[in-house]
Chains A and B, each alone.
Chain A
């Protein structure tokens, strides 16, 4: 059970779109539609941002969207805003009641 692979950092200017990838295997990301994404601001607890690959919890702006193709899931943030600057983590169900996180991606809004 290895950590999912995310880019260490991404950046974009206000108003632009950015996409964060999350690569796994057939045993996790590719095998189940149970990928979730968490936003974490410095010194704060993670916050659920996307679940079940592409669903948004109540209160999360529709600028946040998720998708999956094969063993790679993606989080896209459109219309970037300054408050989107944070760390983002993907997480996938990996079978047999287990979950695995990605290594995290730091989003910088230029």
Chain B
């Protein structure tokens, strides 16, 4: 069973850097075909994919936020960390991490979907 949990501050001030940690179990980020995504959702708005990190350390970022985002993985600790610099009130959102299946080594099929999600953590940006 795959589980993910987001952790980090619930309140940050404008211009500060946000650091969120996704701690997961039930899979390893060293397994071929696996990834973790960070997705956010401002109140009442749509999902937005912020960053993806794959087993082979490929990283992808939202083009509009690329300059502010960094994603890293700690395979031994089963954690993925997202940092976002220069936070602004418009960054107030629920931040989710999710397990991404890119390639199934058992079936040799490619996919690309999020099959397990954390519960999310609400981050408010306010002075």
- B37: chain A residues at CB < 8 Å are 99
Residue from A1, A51, A103 in contact with B115 in the complex, judged by beta carbons closer than 8 Å: A51
Contact at A97–B111, with CB atoms within 8 Å? Answer: no
Contact B115 A45 (CB under 8 A): no
- Within the complex, the shortest CB–CB distance from A26 to chain B, in Å, comes to 17
For chains A and B in complex, what number of residue pairs have CB atoms within 8 angstroms? 65
Give the total of B residues in contact with A, Cβ under 8 Å. 26
Which among B37, B112, B120 has the highest number of chain A CB atoms within 10 Å? B112
Contacts of A65 in B (CB 8 A): none
Chain B residue at minimal CB-CB distance from A99: B49
A-B contact pairs, 8 of them (CB 8 A): A32-B112, A34-B113, A36-B112, A45-B96, A46-B98, A46-B114, A48-B114, A51-B115
| Interface residue ranges, B against A (CB under 8 Å) | 35, 37, 39, 46-49, 52, 54, 58, 60, 63, 96, 98, 100, 102, 110-115, 117-120
**List of 10 A-B pairs having minimum Cβ-Cβ separation, nearest first:** A36-B113, A93-B112, A51-B113, A45-B117, A34-B112, A104-B46, A101-B47, A103-B46, A98-B60, A97-B60
